[in-house]
Amino acid sequence: MRSILLPFLFLCGFLQAQDPVAYRLFTGQGKPANHKAFMKSLGAADVILFGEQHNSAIAHWLQLVVARELAAKAPLAMGAEMIEADDQATLDRYLRGQIDQAAFDTLVRLWKNHSDYAPMVELAKEKGLRFIATNVPRRYASMVYKGGFEALDTLPDVEKEWIAPLPIAYDPELPGYKAMLDMGHGHASPTMPKAQALKDATMAHFILANFKPGTRFLHFNGTYHSDNYEGISWYLKRARPELRIVTIATTTQADASKLEAEHKGKADFILVVDEAVPGTY
């Protein structure tokens, strides 16, 4: 009996190992992370930076799962790169039911794939949660790209309320900002990473302005804005080093069953999606 059973068990294990994997969660060190341990870590955080690839259906699904589970257990606030700070008043009116979906869609500069983020906004509306528009209005990032941080000095005071306080702290030696210049092969403008830094600083600013002790703040942003504990995370830690920040990075691989070495250390948790999974656009 044993001689028959052992080959059968081996074959079952082999077939199971070959099952296709659409996604998998890993710790930053590359160890598989189960959902329970993942959520336990998020529940102990003050701020969670969920870095995504903007067209990743699996990342958007997991964002909603995380938001629902966190909201069910403790006070939660959410924020997103995908809505700009000067649209906060309109977003608040929508969340309070003072305007309908059609008006919201018309009045706010929504991303073309807002349907990927709408479930999180609707969850906030349903549960009475705060949802913060954290990103800098894009026209100001454009100003910095064209004229450096100095261009922001010309803004009237009322418009400066939609960006991080001036002057913007900036470390050009951070690897993420240096990599932006390297990708240009010597042709990238030195103001390009400054525009990125303005976004990072502004998102961190509005997270901190709306963070309340005892409440988790779940933030959705492009993974590049928080990978390697830089970007938003760097600005948060610079202002509030005592905060417990958990970062999530998203990447794609040909094989999602194990974390490739190049992605280790990018975040506390890394969501690996099979590159064959279709994007939302």
Contact in structure between 21 and 276 (CB atoms under 8 Å): no
Average pLDDT in the 153-165 region?
A: 97
- Domains defined for the chain, CATH in brackets: 25-274 (3.40.50.11550)
| DSSP assigned state of 164 | P
- Say yes or no to pLDDT of 18 above 90: no
Residue 68's nearest CA partner among 93, 89, 32, 43 is: 43
Instruction: Give the separation between CA 191 and CA 143, rounded to whole angstroms.
Output: 10
pTM summary value: 0.92
**Confidence bin at 188 (pLDDT 50/70/90):** confident
**DSSP class per residue in 92-131:** HHHHTTSS-HHHHHHHS---TTGGGTHHHHHHHHHHT--E
- Say yes or no to pLDDT of 30 above 50: yes
- Say yes or no to pLDDT of 44 above 80: yes
The reported pLDDT for the residue numbered 232 is 98
pLDDT in tens, 85-130: 999 999 999 999 999 999 999 999 999 999 999 999 999 999 999 9
